[in-house]
């Protein structure tokens, strides 16, 4: 019985490997690279959240824990797309996580830098799809294009708070509070748009 199941499974796997598909190997590779980036974002924000919590920046920690979950959701979106298109989504190995930060401002400057890098990577991916006329994947990636526009703006607004409010006196306390407000406003906006 076990042999029958194994044979059946092997037949299915062979069929899966040989089934025709429109997704090219190059696109699959690039999508897997993007999985690594989204997984890296999730891990980086989790590490930032932990540092903020440890330092007593409770609101920023909450914002970053939420953001880490969101990035994991982005990674899973790519997993399902690749597998549904006949490819194989690969769990990325994530290393080189930054655990310590010089200040709260540094956390959000790193976030902004990271979001800009992700936007550039998504744009590269879209441009590749356009060149090879893979409009199906390009259409799927449009969601990420829009998401990056919002996330880059959100990170920029967070960094701006430091100059706007100033860090002296109750400044840092206020910034910490306002950062969570920014996050909540963005989440409400996403919910309105059904994202």
Q: Rule CB under 6 A: which residues touch ligand OFO?
A: 38, 41, 71, 74, 115, 118, 147-148, 151
Tell me the longest C-alpha to C-alpha distance in the chain. Answer: 73
Query: Do 147 and 73 meet the contact criterion of CB atoms below 8 Å apart?
Result: no
Query: Do 32 and 89 meet the contact criterion of CB atoms below 8 Å apart?
Result: yes
> Of the two residues 59 and 111, which places its CB atom closer to ligand OFO in the complex?
111
Q: For residue 1, give the 3-state DSSP assignment.
A: coil
Question: Mutual orientation of helices 135-165 and 171-192 as an angle, nearest 10°?
Answer: 150
> Of the two residues 27 and 148, which places its CB atom closer to ligand OFO in the complex?
148
The residues, ordered by sequence, that sit 6+ positions from 63 with a Cβ below 8 Å of its Cβ are 49, 179, 180, 182, 183
* Vertex 106: Cα angle to 182 and 44 (nearest 5): 75
> Of the two residues 144 and 172, which places its CB atom closer to ligand OFO in the complex?
144
> Of the two residues 70 and 172, which places its CB atom closer to ligand OFO in the complex?
70
């Amino acid at each position: 019985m076990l042999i029958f199941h194994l044979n059946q499974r092997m037949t299915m796997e062979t069929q899966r490997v040989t089934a025709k598909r429109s997704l090219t190997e190059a696109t699959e590779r690039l999508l897997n690279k993007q999985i690594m980036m989204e997984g890296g974002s999730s891990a980086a924000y989790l590490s930032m959240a932990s540092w903020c919590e440890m330092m007593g920046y409770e609101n920023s920690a909450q914002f970053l824990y939420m953001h880490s979950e969101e990035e994991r959701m982005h990674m899973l979106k790519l997993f399902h797309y690749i597998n549904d298109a006949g490819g194989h989504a690969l769990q990325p190995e994530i290393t080189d996580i930054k655990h310590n930060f010089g200040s709260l401002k540094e956390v959000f400057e790193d976030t902004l830098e990271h979001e800009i890098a992700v936007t550039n990577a998504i744009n590269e991916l879209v441009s590749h799809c356009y060149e090879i006329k893979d409009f199906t994947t390009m259409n799927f990636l449009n969601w990420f294009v829009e998401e990056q526009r919002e996330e880059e703006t959100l990170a920029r607004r967070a960094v701006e708070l430091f100059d706007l409010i100033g860090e002296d006196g109750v400044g840092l306390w206020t910034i910490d509070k306002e950062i969570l407000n920014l996050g909540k406003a963005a989440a409400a906006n996403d919910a309105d748009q059904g994202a």
